[in-house]
Amino acid sequence: MENVLSSIRRERPRRIVVFTGAGISAESGIPTFRGSEGLWKNFRAEDLATPEAFHRDPELVWEWYEWRRGLIRAAQPNAAHMAIARLERELARKGDALVVTQNVDGLHARAGSRNLIELHGNIFRARCTSEQTTRELAHPAESMPPRCGCGSLLRPDVVWFGEMLPAGAMERAAAAVAGCDLLLVVGTSGLVYPAAGLVSSARRMSIEVNPQKTPLSASCTHALPGYATTIIPPITETILEGALR
Ligand code: BV8
């Protein structure tokens, strides 16, 4: 860890991209997708987060998302989310910090991050399957599966497996990663594409923060074994010391 902090002090990065996965929310009590704590009532995300599953059983899929929303509503952003939001705020005119997240839990926004790309959508938004209009889901659904005023089914406004990401999201994220001085890769197994492919666009320093080795570890300049809430705050502190000098 100390050698990574020394590299940050030497390089004084100012243009930061933080690429996050489910692991950054693990210490907020939200199960990851492939972690040992068993995700989501013994269902695999790949089995339920698909258009086919929704077509087959919209009520089951909605119940799964309602259960996840309940967990997330009860959770709080953790020290890693907060440190990243502070980095964006305090860098301000001296540089910039963009969050590119695979997560749909909305915790980066709740921590205060505004410069944010949600590659896979947001679990607290629903979309009409006919009109494609979206709406916020502030409260648990009254009826199951919920319907739009037009009578059509609503669906979670997230990207399912086999679906395209939001128009322009990957292009914007890839351009930011290619142009940044430092890419932080936090809490992702690096298994889901095209998101995981972003890491190979980094041209300068890249630091992976994960208790496990992943397929992305070898393509980062540093791989720090450990938890996001332990490692991210000292890293953002060191970035700010250098950038604001
Ligand atoms: C698509 C929203 C084009 C829904 C999610 C190559 C190119 C293109 C596509 C593919 C490809 N290869 C395969 C595909 C298909 C597929 C895919 O990638 N499949 C995988 C399973 C192999 N990709 C797609 O379908 C994508 N669409 O490509 O469109 C297209 C269109 C039509 C036909 C062909 C192509 C869409 C993918 C998006 C799916 N939606 N989420 C929902 O959430 O319900 S993905 C889901 O997985 C979440 O978003 C999650 O964030 C994401 C990735 O998982 P991770 O975040 O990495 O989480 P995971 O649990 O795996 O890992 C957690 C990590 O944290 C672990 O490493 C752990 O060690 C670490 N950790 C734990 N605790 C901590 C920690 N780290 C730090 N601190 C801690 N405390």
Whole-number Å distance, alpha carbon 3 to ligand 1 midpoint, is 30
39 or 7, greater pLDDT: 7
- pLDDT (tens digit per residue) in 157-192: 999 999 999 999 999 999 999 999 999 999 999 999
Would you call 81 a catalytic residue per the annotation? no
Q: What is the number of the ligand 1 atom nearest to the C-alpha of 188?
A: 57
User: What is the rounded CA–CA span in Å between residue 126 and residue 190?
Assistant: 27
User: What is the rounded CA–CA span in Å between residue 226 and residue 211?
Assistant: 4
Long-range Cβ contact pairs of 164-172 (< 8 A, separation 24 or more): 165/119, 165/120, 165/194, 165/195, 166/118, 166/119, 166/121, 169/117, 169/118, 169/119, 170/119, 170/194, 170/195, 170/198, 172/117
- pLDDT (tens digit per residue) in 233-245: 999 999 999 888 7
Whole-number Å distance, alpha carbon 93 to ligand 1 midpoint, is 33
Top-confidence range, 64-73, 80-89, 138-147: 80-89
Whole-number Å distance, alpha carbon 53 to ligand 1 midpoint, is 17
Whole-number Å distance, alpha carbon 33 to ligand 1 midpoint, is 8
Question: Side chain identity at 56, as an amino acid letter?
Answer: R
Find out whether the beta carbon of 228 lies less than 6 Å from any atom of ligand 1: yes
Q: What is the number of the ligand 1 atom nearest to the C-alpha of 45?
A: 44
For residue 136, list its beta bridge partners: 125
User: What is the rounded CA–CA span in Å between residue 125 and residue 71?
Assistant: 16
Kindly state the tokens that stand for 170.
Answer: 């990957």
Cβ–Cβ under 8 Å, residues 125 and 117: no
Question: Side chain identity at 32, as an amino acid letter?
Answer: T
pTM of the model: 0.96
Q: What is the pLDDT of residue 192?
A: 96
Mutate which of 36, 192, 229, 230 for ligand 1 pocket (most atoms within 8 A of beta carbon): 192
Find out whether the beta carbon of 81 lies less than 6 Å from any atom of ligand 1: no
Find out whether the beta carbon of 22 lies less than 6 Å from any atom of ligand 1: yes
